[in-house]
Amino acid sequence: MGGAAVSHRVLEERPAAHGDALNLVRVAIAEAAGPEAAAQRVVDVLHDRFPAYDWIGVYWVEGDDLVLGPWTGPEATEHTRIPIGTGVCGAAAASGMTEIVPDVNADPRYLSCFASTQSEIVVPIFDGERVVGEIDVDGSDLDAFDQADARFLEEVAALLAPLRPRA
C-alpha cells in the first residue's frame, strides 16, 4: 500500500550568526546616507560580527582593474589597485568564482598584504552575469573559511551589487 519512499536532499541550514548578520547588513544598507556609506557599513558589520574576518575590503571593477573601495581591519593594504587576473582577487574577478584559500603561503597567486594573514576568501559581486566587484576577507588562522562562509558572503555580495559606483 502506498508508494515508494521518496528521499529528498536536506539543504544545509544557514548558521544563525549568518542569518543575524544578513539582517544587520540589510538594516545598515537601508539606514546609510548613500551607496558609499552603505558599503562601508557592510564591511564594518562583517568585521564586528565575525572574529575570523580580520580584514575585509570591497574591490570594484574599473576597466581592467579592481580598485579598493570600503575596507576595515587593523591596517590599510598596499594593494589598492589589482589587475584582473592577478592574485587571488584578480583570479576570482576573472573566473567569476568564489576562491577559498585555506593557506595563503601554499598558493602562489596570493599577493601578500599582512604577515598575519593565513587564509583568504574572495567572493565576486555580480550585476547579472558580469563581475562588478568582490568581497575580499583575510583571516589570521589557517583554514578560517568554508562553504558556509562562501554561501553567506555570496548573499552579502548580492546586497552590495546595487551599491557599486557608477561611471
For residues 38 and 70, the answer to whether their CB atoms sit within 8 Å is no
* Residue 71 three-state SS: strand
91 assigned to some structural domain? yes
Lowest mean pLDDT among 7-11, 43-47, 62-66, 97-101: 7-11
pLDDT surpassing 60 at residue 8: no
Residue 123 has phi, psi (to 5 degrees) of -120, 120
| Number of domains into which the chain is organized | 1
Q: How confident is the model at residue 103 (pLDDT cuts 50, 70, 90)?
A: very high
Q: What percent of the chain has pLDDT over 90?
A: 78
**pTM for the model:** 0.89
With a cut of 50, say whether residue 2 has pLDDT above it: no
Contacts of 21 (CB under 8 A, 6+ apart): 45, 46, 49, 50, 152
Asked if 83 and 109 touch (Cβ cutoff 8 Å), the reply is no
Place of cell 558580469: 130
pLDDT band at 1 (very low <50, low <70, confident <90, very high): very low
Q: Is residue 101 pLDDT above 80, yes or no?
A: yes
Could you tell me where the DSSP H helices lie in the chain?
16-31, 35-49, 87-95, 147-160
Q: Is residue 36 in some structural domain?
A: yes
Domain that holds residue 55: 16-163
| Domain CATH for 153 | 3.30.450.40
In a domain, 9, yes or no: no
Domain membership flag for residue 2: no
Residue 88 lies in a domain: yes
Q: Which residue has the higher pLDDT, 36 or 14?
A: 36
Q: Is residue 76 part of a domain?
A: yes
Supply the mean pLDDT for the chain: 90
